[in-house]
Structure 1
Amino acid sequence: MTPEAAGEHSRVGPRDVLRLLYGHRRWIVLAVLLTLGASALSLAQPLLVKKVIESTAAGSAVGLVIVLLVVLFVGQALVQGLAQYVLARTGEGIVLGVRLRLIKKVLRLPMAVYDRQRIGDLISRTSTDSTTLRLLIAEGFTDAVTGAIGLVGVVALMVWLDWLLFLIVLAMVAIASVIVASVLRGIEVASLVTQQATGAMTADLERALGAIRTVRASRAEQRETDRIGSRARSAYAGSVRMAKLDAVVAPAVELAVKGSFLVVLLIGGMRVAERQGSIADLAAFLLYMIYLVGPIGMLFQSFSTMEQGVGAYRRVTEVMAMPTEQDAAPRPVSKPPSMAATTPSGAPVLEFQDVWFGYEPRRPVLRGVSFAVPQNVQVALIGSSGAGKSTVFALIERFYDPDRGRILFDGRDIRTLSRAEHRARIGLVEQHTPVLYGTLRENLTYAAPDAGPDEVDRVVELAHLTELVSRLPRGLDTDAGEHGMALSGGERQRIAIARSLLARPRLLLLDEPTAHLDAANEEVLRRSIRQTADQCALLVIAHRSSTIRAADLIVVLHGGRVIATGTHDELLGASAHYRLLAGASRHAGDALPR
């Protein structure tokens, strides 16, 4: 996004910041009270200095006043330090709360958001942007609160001591404020551009590392380096621009405070020389000017710092505004005539009834799909690429909901169930068989964390993982490696199957389960799948003839429609498209049996 485009976004106002602070208001009140106390102790010190000078001039004792001055000085330092700690701790607590909400949000976004949004950018918003948000809260806000409280007290006492000299200081500060205000908008825009570039860099790096073997095999290291480097350079350019603008703030503070100090010293000294004022009043006023450096510097720097955090806050709020995956409100579902005399116990495990769906409303992927998966039956779902097989799986898992039609599970419309309740009865084995970082045991029990050792041993044997576990150095407690790269493709496939079976699903979805297996392991797994069919129904996306031949029922998809169903022998005689698929498989070296 260009700076001009970024500038078109709505600004983050005080209400947005206060919304973040609301849940921590007690700690903030405590920090403000401590800051007020520290400011009071600090503001009393110049008055005591004034008293020391006047008492010395009058020949009075000053010992007790000096002791009190030391006590106030030490007390002010202690109270101010405690106030800063409470504010900083509160700021970190706010950042933690934002991070926890972001983590909860990004793990519950609708699948359509993951399809559009780069995963690396979501990670960047949760980590990098939430860290940068500390500038807005833990530093910017604390400086603003501390500076504002200190400024009010200093200004009140300066006006009381000499309002004319204060007007001189006010004029100098006003000039500096105009300069600072002119650069704050640029800092905000540069911050947003920097955060976006950092997010894009993280996304590109995640993309490259996620396919590092492909990158190496394609000799694309330099191309990826250039791509990611360009993002890094964009972030660098934004940060440099932000630093240039931020560098204006310090000289502005110098102009406001040191310049006014010199002018006040000059004019005040002339007035004392002309006996129009006392040296004690001038000394106290100058001390307050020195004290003014802190509050003004804090305020100017807090404005600059908060503008740097605004870009991160915008990106965080964009994620927080995204919808989460929601369950539709339960609604009465009329029973179709074909099921009028059917009890739920006799209903198919799964049934599609005239289902239409498209990732884009005007481009349907499925067009009136209807088929059923009976209980304890293995069904093969076949079709050419783009026929809609993976979309059928996505709808069964309720990653998406149909645009029209119904999907029944055990005779009930799945939209009448919560997504969690529905998914608890389904196992999914993806074609790419993701294995999470962690031990083999943690991967197996991922969907059933409370499973006992006997249950784990059962699925290990059922998925024929016994030999693998026995040769691993720590058995089931061996690390599987990043993305399971310490395992072969076939081993990852069997781990994914065992993981799904451990939850004892009513329906097991298998996306080409034998894709990564050699002939020997394929035959072993096929026997396991047949054994699994005694416990649950199976719906298998299949391309290999051996997998299709093992199915009790075959559903043929073409162009988003079911064009044929039946056994292998029935389809060879009745479906020309099935015979075409058989011929294509034969030329690919995996012919369907004729």
Structure 2
Amino acid sequence: MFRLTSGHRPGIAVATGLTLAASALGLAQPLVAKHVVDSSVRGEVLWPFLLLLSGLFVAEAAAGATGRFLLDRMGEDVIRMVRHGLVSRLLRLEMREADRRRRGDLVSRVTADTTLLRDVVSQALVDLLTGCLVSAGALLLMLWLDPLLLLLVVVTVALAAVVVSTLLKGMRAASEQMQSSVGTIAAELERALGALPVVRVYRAEEREARRIGERVDSAHRSGVRAAKLAAVMSSAVELAVQGSFLLVLVVGGMRVGSGGADSLGDLVAFLLYASYLVMPLSSVFRAIGLIQRGAGAYLRIDEALALPQEPAQEPGPALPGTPPATPRSPAHALELTDIRFAYVPDRPVLRGATFTVPHHGLVALVGRSGAGKSTLFSLIARLYDPDAGSIRFDGRPATALTRRQCRAGIALVDQNTHVLEGTLRENITYAVPDATDDDILRVVRLTRLEHVVRRLPGGLDGRLGDQGGTLSAGERQRVALARALLARPRLLLLDEHTSHLDAVNETALTRTLSDVTRDCAVLVIAHRLSTVRHADRIVVLEDGRTVASGRHDRLLATSAAYRELAATHVLHGRVPENGER
């Protein structure tokens, strides 16, 4: 907590000073009340003391309100900084780390956990400090007024402190479990809502509700346990304070009656200090409990801030088998040499993929599901780094470039066809936010999105809904392609870009790609003969290796692997007869 507030300590000092000033003004009030009582008994003038008492009330309220506002604002500033750091870290996570984390749980750390942490930062720390100081001040004044009565108060409060200390560990554990369960609820709900059509079609609403309900029940149990411990702690403190107040009232009253105390005013002042001790002591114990609950949230936030992220600027390390980092003549837009990669150790996905993509050429990548085609795209886009082998862009090794430099010349249309919540214009211009209307309309025509523009209320500025819910699968695919083409990349990666298109749109898109190759290189993962037959070269992947490459007619004649792909309809479409080759 001290580290989190490092940039806000002057503001904390001012707020703490105001809070202490308000507390000091409050501590002065019983002394003034003592003089009011004693003056009343002696028949002296009361209005100066009453006026002073009113002024102390007003000054205490003003100082306290100002201090509280400064603390709340500081808490919001700190949490804004933490949230910025979390968002920046999560958007730059290494892909391996992002793959194994649940998105809903990560979102919960940015929202629910930071909200709890804000209360700790803005309230608990200062309450703990000021509560301790004010309690110490009240105890000193009570010692000055009557040491014997103070002893009774200290004994009862000490008993409450023993009870509280035994509850803190359990409260922290319950809070950590509750925060973790809340994160799991968010993750499970995100999972179900992300596949809502599947849930509906297979009538799994009750099953998913039970699944999420188990997490809700777990959070409830942890919350109830924390509430039970907090209630016991609060009751212990309240009983201690009230018990000490009653003891002081009974014993002090008996001593005043027997002449053992200095005056009735002393007893009134002591009772006021005993009652004033309630708030600072309560704030101290409440702050301790809040810090224990916030510790669980802070641990989750700290864990997220420590997750590994992609290096921002530095080029990656050279890999085993990588040639020297001297640029070659850029004869190829992309060159892969003996690429090897595994998501999990000892379970390789790629075992030696080697091929090139020439400038202004269309290369199709084919193979069975699981052959490593999409993984190759992830490596080319530098979402992962290969375990061995080399990737070169325009003759320059990827390891000699930063990820941003590698990606600057790449556009990707993956098989998930991500469409973001927002307008059609925002989705198309995602890579080029300052694109002109002429450029936007050019890619709209190229990808045959005119009817979508006409259909949407607002045209290009019409909203597409979450994950493009107002579009068909084929329309989402064309929006993703328009986004890629607008970026004018040197290398265009297309992963099953025609899987949701009808024959008319597929034919038009094939013609578009022929035009695109005049400006850039195109590497496409294809499952349709209509796509690969027009490719300048076809690369066949089998078990993570490139086993053949060439044009369609040559591969049908020379490659058994390619013929098998066509014959088993892994490549969809009519296989040409021998006479048509």
Aligned residue in 1 for 2:279: 294
The change in CA–CA distance for 1:323 and 1:592 in structure 2 (over 3 A counts) is: farther
1:109 is matched with which residue: 81, 93, 118? Answer: 93
- Classify the secondary structure of the residue corresponding to 2:332: coil
Paired residue secondary structure (2:309): coil
Give the whole-Å Cα distance in 2 for the aligned partners of 1:275 and 1:104: 71
Partner of 2:494: 510
Confirm or deny: 8 A CA contact 1:144 1:299 kept in the other structure. yes
Shift of 1:337: 8.5
1:312 equivalent in structure 2? 297
The letter for the 1-side match of 2:412 is L
Separation in 1 of the partners of 2:134 and 2:82?
Answer: 29
Structure 2 vs 1, CA of residues 222 and 340 (structure 1 numbering), >3 Å: closer, same or farther?
A: closer
Work out the CA distance in 1 between the residues paired with 2:574 and 2:109. 46
> Could you tell me which residue of structure 1 aligns to residue 361 of structure 2?
377
Aligned to 1:585, the other structure's residue is in SS state coil
- Alpha-carbon shift at residue 273 of structure 1 (Å): 2.4
Distance, in Å, in 2 between the alignment partners of 1:587 and 1:508 is: 21
Distance 1:131 1:311 in 2: 12
**Residues 443/330 of structure 1: CA separation in 2 closer, same or farther (3 Å cut):** closer
Determine the C-alpha separation between the residues in 2 that align with 1:32 and 1:158: 24
The change in CA–CA distance for 1:332 and 1:244 in structure 2 (over 3 A counts) is closer
C-alpha separation between the residues in 2 aligned to 1:332 and 1:479? 43
389-398 or 81-90: bigger deviation: 81-90
SS at match of 1:20: coil
Is the 1:585–1:592 Cα contact (8 Å) retained in structure 2?
A: no
Give the 3-state SS of the residue equivalent to 2:568 in structure 1.
Answer: helix
21, 28, 53: which one pairs with 1:37? Answer: 21
Equivalenced residue count is 576
Q: Partner of 2:79 in structure 1? A: 95
Contact 1:582/1:592 (CA < 8 Å) preserved in 2?
A: no
Q: 1:593 to 1:145 in 2, by over 3 A?
A: farther
Paired with 1:354 and 1:586, the residues of 2 have a C-alpha distance of 25
Conservation of the 8 A alpha-carbon contact between 1:586 and 1:592:
no
Letter in 1 for 2:19: T
Deviates more, 1:536-545 or 1:51-60: 51-60
In 2, Cα distance between equivalents of 1:336 and 1:213:
46
CA contact (8 A) 1:437 1:479 kept: yes
**Are residues 1:567 and 2:567 paired?**
no
- Listed as ranges, the matches of 1:351-390 within 5 Å are 351-390=335-374
C-alpha distance in structure 1 between counterparts of 2:100 and 2:388, whole Å: 23
Residues 114 and 292 (structure 1), Cα distance of their counterparts in 2 relative to 1, 3 Å cut: same
2:333 is the alignment partner of 1:343: no
In structure 1, what is the equivalent of residue 209 of structure 2? 225
SS at match of 1:556: strand
- Alpha-carbon distance, 1:339 to partner: 11
Partner AA of 1:453 in structure 2: D
**Residue deviations 1:395-452, cap 9 Å, x none?**
0010011111110001111122221222121000011211111110000000111111
> CA 1:593/1:514 → structure 2, altered by over 3 Å: closer, same or farther?
farther
Q: Match for residue 123 of structure 1? A: 107
C-alpha distance in 2, partners of 1:391/1:576?
24
How far 1:254 moved relative to its partner?
1.7
Instruction: Say which SS state the counterpart of residue 564 (structure 2) adopts.
Output: helix
Partner of 2:265: 280
- In the other structure, the counterpart of 2:311 is 326
Aligned twin of 1:451? 435
**Of 241, 249, 253, which aligns to 1:257?**
241
Residue 593 of structure 1 deviates from its aligned partner by 6.6
1:50 aligns with 2:50: no
Contact map agreement 2:492 2:520 (CA 8 A) in 1: yes
Distance 1:163 1:352, change over 3 A: same
- By how many angstroms is 1:507 displaced? 0.3
Query: What's the CA shift string for 1:41-72, capped at 9, x where partnerless?
Result: 11111111222233334443232122111111
What one-letter code is carried by the residue in structure 2 that aligns with 1:403?
A: D
Equivalent residue for 1:28?
12
Q: What secondary structure is seen at the aligned counterpart in 2 of 1:476? A: helix
Distance, in Å, in 2 between the alignment partners of 1:267 and 1:399 is 76
Determine if contact 1:42/1:76 at 8 Å carries over to the other structure.
yes
**SS of residue paired to 2:464:** coil
Going from structure 1 to structure 2, the CA distance change for 1:550 and 1:587 (only over 3 Å counts) comes to closer
Change in Cα spacing, 1:253 to 1:340, as seen in structure 2 (3 Å) is closer
- Alignment partner of 2:399 out of 398, 402, 415: 415
Q: 1:135–1:308: 8 Å Cα contact kept in structure 2?
A: no
Mapped pair 1:268 → 2:252: yes
Given candidates 145, 154, 159, the residue that maps to 2:129 is 145
Q: 2:502 aligned with 1:484, yes or no?
A: no
Could you say what secondary structure the match of 1:580 adopts?
helix
In structure 2, how many angstroms separate the alpha carbons of the residues matched to 1:551 and 1:142? 69
In the TM superposition, what is the alpha-carbon distance from 1:103 to its structure 2 partner?
A: 1.2
1:580 and 1:324 map into 2 onto residues whose CA distance is 42
TM-score, L = length of structure 1:
0.93
**For 2:391, what is the secondary structure of its paired residue?**
strand
User: Which residue of structure 1 lines up, in the alignment, with residue 538 of structure 2?
Assistant: 554
- Percent same amino acid at aligned positions? 50
Query: Pick from 554, 570, 585: which aligns with 2:569?
Result: 585
SS in structure 1 at match of 2:232? helix
SS at match of 1:504: coil
Q: How far off is 1:340 after superposition?
A: 8.6
**CA-to-partner distance for each residue in 1:539-591, whole Å, 9 max, x for gaps?**
00111111111211111111111111111122112211111111111896654
Matches within 5 A, 1:523-562: 523-562=507-546
Asked whether the equivalents of residues 328 and 415 of structure 1 are also in contact (C-alpha less than 8 Å), the reply is no
Structure 2 residue runs without a partner (length 5+)? none
**Paired residues for 1:145-294 under 5 Å:** 145-278=129-262, 279-294=264-279
Q: Partner letter of residue 117 of structure 1? A: R
Distance 2:570 2:183 in 1: 47
Instruction: Show CA shifts across 1:176-212 (max 9, x none).
Output: 0111111111111111111111111111111111111
Q: Is the 8 A contact 1:120 1:200 kept in 2?
A: yes
Distance in 2 separating the partners of 1:593 and 1:191: 70
Amino acid at match of 1:296: L
Superposition deviation, residue 264 in structure 1: 1.5
Unpaired segments ≥5 residues, structure 1: 1-16
- Residue 132 of structure 1 deviates from its aligned partner by 2.2
RMSD across aligned C-alpha pairs, in angstroms?
Answer: 2.1
Q: 1: CA distance between counterparts of 2:574 and 2:431?
A: 34
Report how far residue 106 of structure 1 moved.
1.1
Cα pair 2:11 2:70 within 8 Å, conserved: yes
- Residue type matched to 1:558 in 2? E
Counterpart-to-counterpart distance in 1, 2:498 and 2:96: 29
Deviates more, 1:50-59 or 1:326-335: 326-335
Mapped contact 2:108–2:183 kept (Cα < 8 A) = yes
Are the equivalent residues in 2 in contact too, given 1:194–1:239 (CA < 8 A)?
Answer: yes
Deviation, structure 1 residue 328:
7.2
TM-score (norm 2): 0.95
Quick check: 1:136–1:306 contact (8 Å CA) kept in 2? Answer: yes
Q: 1:593 to 1:363 in 2, by over 3 A?
A: farther
Structure 1 range deviating more: 510-519 or 309-318: 309-318
What amino acid is aligned across from residue 469 of structure 1 in structure 2?
V
After the TM superposition, which residues 394-433 of structure 1 pair with which residues of structure 2 at under 5 Å, given as runs?
Answer: 394-433=378-417
Partners of 2:322 and 2:390 within 8 A in 1: no
